[in-house]
Structure 1
């Protein structure tokens, strides 16, 4: 499937998370440890928030480990909130419009997982997309369709509720078509100030997802690491798999849960799909 990370906190050069850690996202694009696939070479993307009204976005079908433009960008762009993704296709074409993150206005969205028998369910799900958001669909992935469905269902006002309703619609469509265990997802989405991350699967056997320990605690545990002195107490990471093998640095996201990361407010709450009425 895929690997991704979401960072929020003190402004950092992208390379600090994409390239420098021992098991960085770029390393994971070739040597993933916890994913279904070891290699995630079907494209990549990075989205970051800066001075503009909408987040910057770079997406490519190149493998992340060999893309010179990504390497150049990562050494020059600094951001307080960015998301990055390396893709392993689950069947849809390798093309730029199918690379994550996906963007709509100030919102970014990325996903690891799949909708089972997506070709069977796709028409029903497409018909549930609101007219306002239908023109935003550029690619052919289940991940992008999940995003526009969540937008249709109120993502901009109530992200947890919108994602719960989106999953409810997918599972209801699967029930109508006799598709078992339709949803497998770890999702991150952001409006530029808050990050929401979800871990859920219909079978309750979800793909891996981890969040970093509070920076203040990490400084006490590992005073020998210079970078921990450069970032604020509010700095956080959510990752498909740990970037470094550092005792006490990572915590597994609970099954069927979502996290909220914002200035002064980090929470983990239970996640339950909301069936359509």
Structure 2
């Protein structure tokens, strides 16, 4: 599978997120602790919001730990909302168009998981994508198809409802083809102002997902920890696995739950697919 992080808060230098933590995303690309695969070397991507209408995206097929340009770019760029992803393919090609995050307008999307039996049901899924959106599909992954199904079902207007409908549709199609557990996902999407992160699987055994505890509380608990003093009180992180071993710093997102982060406010809600 894959590993990813989603950051929101005061502007932060991208290298501080990707390289500096004890269990940074670069470390996870080589030695993930909670993923299905230890190595996530089939490409990477970073998306960030600046002063333009659409977010910037930098993606490549090299392993993240090997790309010198990634280090150069992240040392120069700061942003208040960042998505970053390292990929372990579940069978589709190692190519740039298959690297996350995916972008549509102001939206970013990244995924850890899989649609079971994707080659068998891909045609049915793709035919349900809005014809006006279909030309935007550039790669061959189940993650991108799920993104475009969610867009078709209203992702730009109501992400939780759209993703519930998209996941429900995939489950219906999969089960029609005899697939018992079609969906496995830990997915995040953002419009640059709000981030939504979802943890769900048809089997009820989802991939790992965590969010950071309140930074001001942690700072009071660990006054001598310099990393905490570099983060603003409104900093929020959602991650595939914790970026460090600091006790109390990370909380697991429960099964069948989605997390909403807007400014410094986090809320969790139950998540369930909706049949069409």
Q: What TM-score results when the alignment is normalised by the length of structure 1?
A: 0.98
1:135 pairs with 2:135: yes
The residue that corresponds to 1:263 in the other structure is: 263
SS in 1 for 2:167: helix
The residue that corresponds to 2:222 in the other structure is: 222
Deviation larger for 263-272 or 140-149: 263-272
For 1:264 and 1:43, how far apart are their aligned partners in 2? 31
SS in 2 for 1:113: strand
Structure 1: gaps spanning 5 or more residues? none
SS in 2 for 1:75: helix
SS in 1 for 2:5: strand
1:182 pairs with 2:162: no
The residue that corresponds to 1:102 in the other structure is: 102
Deviation larger for 42-51 or 263-272: 263-272
For 2:264 and 2:103, how far apart are their aligned partners in 1? 26
For 1:91 and 1:165, how far apart are their aligned partners in 2? 25
- Counting only pairs closer than 5 Å after superposition, residues 183-262 of structure 1 correspond to structure 2 as 183-262=183-262
Shift of 1:264: 4.0
For 2:175 and 2:247, how far apart are their aligned partners in 1? 43
For 1:90 and 1:245, how far apart are their aligned partners in 2? 29
Please give the root-mean-square deviation of Cα atoms over the aligned residues, in Å.
0.7
Offset from partner CA, 1:237-272 (integer Å, 9 cap, x none): 000000111011000000000000001421000000
Shift of 1:233: 1.9
Answer whether contact 2:31 2:38 (CA < 8 A) is retained: yes
- Counting only pairs closer than 5 Å after superposition, residues 46-195 of structure 1 correspond to structure 2 as 46-195=46-195
